[in-house]
Amino acid sequence: MEFGFTIADQDGEARSGVFHTPHGEVKTPAFMPVGTNASVKAMRPDEVKDLGFEMVLANAYHLALRPGVDVIEEAGGLHSFMHWDGAILTDSGGYQVLSLGKDVRITEEGAKFRASLDGSEVLLEPETSMDQQYRLGADVAMVLDECLPYPSDRERTAASMELTARWAKRCLDSHPGGRQALFGIAQGGTIPELRAESARMTAGLGFDGYGIGGLSVGEPSEVTLAALDASLSELPADKPRYLMGVGDPSGIVEAVSRGVDLFDSVLPTRIARNASAFVSGRRLNLRNASFAHDRGPLAPGCDCYTCRNFSRSYLRHMVMAKEILGLHLLTVHNLFEVSSLMRRARKAIAGGTLSELLDEVRAVEAAE
């Protein structure tokens, strides 16, 4: 079996299981570290694997601009190029067009923009996106979608949702299939009715799995959850559900409790490069002068390499001296925290105790 999704345990709406891919099994719910440029920042592939991750994300938008799809294809595809033998998902670049592209024009044809790298004019069509992702050799490709800024009015959101659905059909029609799964993306902004409608339309096309996009872009958490609930209500239960761009502990567990299986976010690695660490669900800023003489571990009781070997004092010194090692050590810890959270979630679902984990992360969120 190359692709498949098996649900092993359920606790309410939450479920744990296995997503089967040509490059191995991915235990769900799972978090995918982001390797935008075919590299999880500040980490070697073996380190990412040793932390318990079985799937990573790379971005077709960035890789098509540099080094180019031809270069990666000649190297034998992404797995060979980046020396990662686990599963890989590529994001089509819809969000990057919104956030990084200049002079963006969205038409029925596709997205026209000036590339962030060199200012060259690019036309990204659904068919182009499918060709790029297939040649990159990822296990899972995502359809090309339009991402809207927050807030967007109902008329604009409805038009964008319908365009995304038409693009999704073009992606499905042009995708070769076979060795690569294709996930659709439900949009609909923050309007629950449009969220449900988009999910229905996307599910009706019959994809291998479903992304929920366009959330966690600045809206309040209660708005995110209402939109998420509306999307999930119309997505099939027997296919993987992927909440795109969510990586904070409370956001992950809230979504897991609602039936989400896959996550990705730059958050754990990004905050590490900005001198912050996840500690018991909270963010700790190592630039704080109070840590200068703190000989304790970054997170008491944590068994990651960083916490077993280095003090808060040393880590603060690394950060203040702008030493690359400091960024690496904080990244190791943050990814360990997320990996541990996913293991706890899977164990809690199997044991019927996810509500206890949910209460825990909610209490941390309320205290901040």
| DSSP letter for each residue of 292-356 | TT--SBSSTT--SHHHHH-BHHHHHHHHHTT-HHHHHHHHHHHHHHHHHHHHHHHHHHHHT-HHH
Question: pLDDT by residue (tens digit) across 147-163?
Answer: 998 999 999 999 999 99
Q: d(Cα 70, Cα 77) in Å, to the nearest integer? A: 9
Which is catalytic among the residues 11, 208, 248, 264?
Answer: 264
Question: pLDDT by residue (tens digit) across 42-67?
Answer: 999 999 999 999 999 999 999 999 99
Identify whether the C-beta of residue 65 lies closer than 8 Å to the C-beta of residue 117.
yes
Tell me how crowded residue 98 is: count the other CB atoms within 10 A of its CB: 18
Which range has the worst mean pLDDT, 91-100, 130-139, 199-208, 332-341? 91-100
* For the chain, domain boundaries: 4-265, 275-333
Domain topology for 4-265: TIM Barrel (3.20.20)
Question: pLDDT by residue (tens digit) across 80-113?
Answer: 999 999 999 999 988 887 787 778 899 999 999 8
Per-residue pLDDT, 98: 73
Beta bridge partners of 283: 278
DSSP letter assigned to residue 148: P
Identify whether the C-beta of residue 211 lies closer than 8 Å to the C-beta of residue 142.
yes
Answer yes or no: is pLDDT of 128 > 90. yes
Answer yes or no: is pLDDT of 337 > 90. yes
Q: Six-digit token pair at 176?
A: 């070769």
Burial class of residue 193, CB neighbours in 10 A (0-12, 13-18, 19+): exposed
Q: Measuring CA to CA, which residue among 5, 69, 1 is closest to residue 38?
A: 69
Per-residue pLDDT, 163: 97
Tell me how crowded residue 112 is: count the other CB atoms within 10 A of its CB: 17
Average pLDDT, the chain: 96
**Span 285-309, mean pLDDT?**
98
**Span 290-318, mean pLDDT?**
98
Q: How confident is the model at residue 1 (pLDDT cuts 50, 70, 90)?
A: low
**Span 20-25, mean pLDDT?**
98
Please say if 139 is a catalytic residue.
no
**Span 124-131, mean pLDDT?**
96
Q: Which amino acid is at 50?
A: D
pTM of the model: 0.97
Report the b/e string of 283-322 with b at 16+ CB within 10 A: ebebeeeebeebeebbbeebebbbbeebbbebbbbbbeee
Angle at 79 between CA 117 and CA 41, to 5 degrees: 50
Please say if 153 is a catalytic residue.
no
Q: Are strands 30-33 and 14-21 parallel, antiparallel or unpaired?
A: unpaired
Q: Are strands 24-28 and 209-212 parallel, antiparallel or unpaired?
A: unpaired
Q: d(Cα 69, Cα 16) in Å, to the nearest integer? A: 35
Which is catalytic among the residues 46, 70, 91, 359?
Answer: 91
CA-to-CA separations, 93 to 28, 98, 115, 124, in angstroms, rounded = 24, 9, 12, 9
Identify whether the C-beta of residue 309 lies closer than 8 Å to the C-beta of residue 295.
no
Q: How confident is the model at residue 205 (pLDDT cuts 50, 70, 90)?
A: very high
Cα torsion 6, 138, 113, 35 to 10°: value is 90
Question: pLDDT by residue (tens digit) across 235-272?
Answer: 999 999 999 999 999 999 999 999 999 999 999 999 99
In sequence order, the 6+-apart residues with CB closer than 8 A to the CB of 345 are 14, 16, 29, 252, 253, 256, 354, 357
DSSP letter assigned to residue 243: E
Identify whether the C-beta of residue 213 lies closer than 8 Å to the C-beta of residue 173.
no
Report how far Cα 334 is from the mean position of its chain's Cα atoms: 15
Answer yes or no: is pLDDT of 29 > 60. yes
